[in-house]
Structure 1
């Protein structure tokens, strides 16, 4: 059942997403303060009949409302530029996975291992197990280790797709003939869902993404079992 807390962001699973949420709260606080001040000023100047008419043309007032927005923009720009730099920073990855968008499913290749590649299709509503989410569950999840820097290479085989997982704070366009990349580090175990966020055709809404984060030892066991299988 839906509840009010679902109108906000998903719980962050990466440091970048935590910083994005913090910046959102920072920006919303500034917006609320500006809205409150401007509303109070407009109402007081419009309603109060004792206000001096010279206020409307005072040079000091015009100077204030010209300089203050510049400081407010700086107050927002400095943390946003720092966050933008961190989202684009590429470090030495511990594991590399390639995601390829198709109409309408994803395929994955673990480039550090020769034999690990698979397709990931959405599970039909009639085949969902208890606790699975409609339009989000897939037959083959992407298994990734926690606390390891992951590099995701994103491309497409036909049209433009977009590989997006909100809880991880990542989004990259999958463009045919082009290889985009992004990095992230998952800090907690769990299953994190996303969807293609580029309108890529009739079944655009039926190509979800499911990532399962596990500890390193379990991931090594999964890799061994995948090769043996």
Structure 2
């Protein structure tokens, strides 16, 4: 519920959420585990706020940096786990490890004048979650201002979500390739990264989020 609201750019503060949570608590209080599972699953499936409703609008802004970072950590860890690698989720969210949000596009609107007529329009697209990665702070300091084509070789040495931009990742990575085949997710490499590629990547992230926060996983967890 919370991640869906965040994806739809809705508040999750106490004043906003308290009534809805209170009503949900009344529904599930003292219920046996099987009925509890059914109630929670039904509640989520009937929710009007979905990841798909806000496919092309979820973006980074000044008030949601912490939440975007946590969501990027979940997306990245999911891709790793499903590809047969160890999850680094706790490492990504640990402040001591100094991971931070990396923009695929540097803050250089003049490089994109062929696609955007204003700096504001460029900025809106630049901050879409599909144009973001979670990388060590040292990476951003070293390469953050470079053009995408110059950053691309360096993405190959980072986490799998970043690597997925690079063609090399699709040559010698059987676990990742198997994950793509089994999931049907539209991963693809990009030699350049333009507006249409940004929107493709945004849709990919949304589909990954739908899998991570799939209501049916509540019942699957119970039956595991």
Tell me which interval the TM-score lies in, with the shorter structure as reference length: under 0.3
Structure with greater Cα Rg: 1
Structure 1 or 2: more strand by fraction: 1
TM-score, with length taken from structure 2: 0.20
Structure 1 or 2: more helix by fraction: 2
TM-score, with length taken from structure 1: 0.20
